Amino acid sequence: MKRQHKRPGMLALTAALGLCYISAGMKTIFRSTVWLAMGLLLGTFSEGEMQDPVEPAPLEEKLGQMLLVGFRGTTVQADSNILRSIREIHLGGVVLFDYDMPSKSYPRNIVSPGQVRELVRNLQSAAAIPLLVAVDAEGGRINRLKPKYGFIEVPSAQHMGEAGLQENHASYRKLARQLNGLGFNLNLAPVVDLNLNPDNPVIGSLERSFSPDPENVIARASAFIEEHRSLGVISTLKHFPGHGSSRQDSHLGLVDVTSTFQDRELLPYQELIRAGQVDVIMTAHIMNRKIDPANPATLSPRFLQTILRQDMGFGGVIISDDMQMGAISRNFGWEESLIKAVQAGCDILAISNNARTYDERAATKAHSILLAAVKGGRIPRSRIDASYRRILRLKQKYSLVR
């Protein structure tokens, strides 16, 4: 049976931002199927469009799929805590790092290509629903897969923004091929923040931005996405709605861009969504009090539901930036911020377990917090069902779930 859903046109974003989108009047046809026939489902849905029956899975499993968590170890044993989390709470994803921040030491998860392949295989072998296995592989300084460990060199985004598109495609094809060969299926990149403040301590100064020009950023991000998709690797646009104009580092504390944010920072998201190139978007822990005076974007229904879902028509997966970063943990409390992020519209909560402290039970603790919030009525079950559908559709699209 086929059903038609009219995709919302680009509405006025907000009076504060002064953006106006032209309604495209586009229609997308979706085929409704039962759980075992997910492979026939095409396209994505906004929150209000998801009318098909809830997949027959327990609440505990759905919540587990909404967590992407870091852990320590270059190998795993049968009794490893991360494997228990994968088996017992159906953990949806893991993220690997080379450096362990709490202990200020190497290695954490990454030593060599062969070791990483074996680690990923062992992690996946414990999962009833295949894991999203993530890594930060932007290029330049933000690349966990460094040449000194035997991985390929990837130029920084700033370099790629100045290079020709042919070089972009060639470099990102090599990167995607490497990720695929290692077993990674989720790259937490590309950065589509505009380089509006070259002295920005977390974006511009680290050469993480392609350019201050949104059209240039769109072209480079498009090349990145195309090459990753061709090899079965999911890309993640970040950091929504834009971290490029900031003057502070959200790893350390709350960042306010109310006076520096520019309308054009939203253009890469708008245009790449319109082109059908976006599967996952990562939120930024930034405040823009003109839009939401009380919450950073990660915790804001205004940013995630109104602007990203409704106005921009994004129906894919929203993943938070690390929920243990100082901007969140020092201002809202970890337990409360997890609940608020899901209420706001995050589908996956990223918990690096690689900030100030390490907790081997971080995954199960986060799972328990969300479970209690749902059972206590703070988070509607429909909110969990919507995220679960999006996550499984993403995994099906990339042949993780059949």
Q: Which residues are catalytic?
A: 251, 321
Give the list of residues 6+ apart from residue 32 with CB closer than 8 angstroms, or none. 1, 2, 3, 41, 52
Q: What are the structure tokens assigned to 166, written together?
A: 């042919």
Q: What is the DSSP letter of 128?
A: S
SS (H, E, C) 181-222: HHCCCEECCCECCCCCCCCCCCCHHHCCCCCCCHHHHHHHHH
- Which residues in 294-317 are b (16+ Cβ under 10 Å) and which e? ebbbbbbebbbbbbbbbbbbbbbb
Please classify residue 116 by burial: count the beta carbons closer than 10 Å to its beta carbon, then call 0-12 exposed, 13-18 middle and 19+ buried: buried
Give which of 377, 373, 314, 313 is closest to 349, Cα–Cα. 373
Pairing of strands 186-187, 255-256: unpaired
Q: What are the structure tokens assigned to 318, written together?
A: 């929203």
Residue 5's H or E segment, with its range, is: strand 2-6
> Any bridge partners for residue 280, and if so which?
236, 317
Residue 344, phi then psi, degrees to nearest 5: -70, -30
Tokens 């706001």 appear where? 344
> Any bridge partners for residue 302, and if so which?
none
